[in-house]
Amino acid sequence: MLILLDEEYHFSPRDDKTNFHVDFSVPEGFDVLCCECRYAPKEITDAELKREVITANIGKYIPREKLASYSAEEQTLVNLLTFSLDYEDKYIGCAHRHAPEMTHRISKEGSSPGFVSQGADAGNWHAVINIHSITSPVVTYSLKISAFKKEEVL
């Protein structure tokens, strides 16, 4: 096993609706990639922040005539960051799901849902952290990518 990337990134509301690109290389001799993604916080629990966000988005996401039915305390506001992957010029796939912790396996024998079957071929790879929504002042995203030989994987 070889750890190719083990980084932590910090995003703020100014990064909302952007893509953050992470390049990495895979050396010869590996068969499987394991991409571990996690971010926090997922849910916004601060009532004042929720109220500010709801107020700031009146008319954009919340119709004015429905405002009376919105109580900040009753609303669930979340951050949403997802992951996609490319090899050279080939799109490998994505995991645009709401879970704040996910592990994606990429291999010729079969990849995680959302990704095509693809060996851990040597060359240039490109991960993208898709930042769909950030409401918190700071969101921390951890990305760890490891390469394995077939005999190392159960």
Question: pLDDT (tens digit, 9 = 90+) per residue, 80-96?
Answer: 999 999 999 999 999 99
66: containing domain? 44-75
Same structural domain, 29 and 105: yes
* Per-residue pLDDT at 73 exceeds 70: no
| Domain total in the chain | 2
Same structural domain, 95 and 50: no
Share of the chain above pLDDT 70, in %: 94
Averaged pLDDT of the chain: 92
Choose the most confident range, by mean pLDDT, from 58-67, 96-105, 145-154. 96-105
> Which residue type sits at 61?
Y
How far, in Å, CA of 16 to CA of 19, rounded?
9
Residue that is last in its domain, among 75, 97, 118: 75
Strand runs labelled E in the chain? 2-11, 18-26, 32-40, 43-44, 77-78, 80-87, 90-95, 101-107, 123-133, 139-148
Segment 49-69 mean pLDDT: 75
pTM comes to: 0.89
pLDDT interval class at 53 (50, 70, 90): confident
Same structural domain, 56 and 85: no
How far, in Å, CA of 92 to CA of 18, rounded?
20
- Count the neighbouring beta carbons within 10 Å of the beta carbon of residue 118: 17
Same structural domain, 126 and 89: yes
The CATH number linked to 105 is 2.60.120.380
